[in-house]
């Protein structure tokens, strides 16, 4: 990881290597898969699916709004499915 630093006068200095691991970046296909996975899995399980820690997955969600959006869409779809089935059962007198 490198970061451009500025000196006190505001002029740019050369990039400084801050060390550490490079950030994990999900492919477009992996980002799309999150919506499907989120409808049935918890964050910890999704992270396991991709071979990363749940902390790393949270960091990816912070960095990449597509990941966060797909996760929320997947969870919302699951809730909508359960709610629809419950309403249908109520209407048929099954509940």
Contact 60, 66 (CB under 8 A): no
Predicted pLDDT of residue 1? 59
| pLDDT tier for residue 9 given thresholds of 50, 70 and 90 | low
Q: Is the pTM of this model over 0.85?
A: no
Using the structure block, give the residue that is written with the tokens 């801050």: 18
CA dihedral over 34, 38, 41, 42, signed as positive or negative: positive
| pLDDT tier for residue 5 given thresholds of 50, 70 and 90 | low
| pLDDT tier for residue 30 given thresholds of 50, 70 and 90 | very high
Phi/psi for 25 (5° steps) reads -125, 125
The per-residue pLDDT of the chain, averaged, comes to 89
Q: For the segment 40-73, what is each residue's pLDDT rounded down to a tens digit? A: 999 999 999 999 999 999 999 999 999 999 999 9
Number of Cβ within a 10 Å radius of residue 49: 14
Using a pLDDT cut of 70, give the percent of the chain over it. Answer: 84
Segment 70-94 mean pLDDT: 94
Gap between the Cα atoms of 12 and 47, Å rounded: 38
């Amino acid at each position: 990881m490198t970061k451009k630093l500025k000196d006190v006068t505001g002029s740019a200095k050369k990039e400084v290597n801050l060390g550490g691991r490079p950030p994990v970046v999900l492919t477009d296909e992996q980002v799309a898969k999150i919506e499907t996975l989120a409808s049935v899995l918890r964050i910890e399980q999704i992270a396991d699916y991709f071979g990363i820690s749940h902390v790393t997955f949270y960091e990816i969600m912070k960095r990449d709004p597509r990941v966060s959006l797909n996760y929320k869409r997947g969870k919302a779809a699951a809730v909508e499915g359960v709610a629809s089935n419950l309403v249908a059962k109520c209407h048929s007198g099954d509940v």
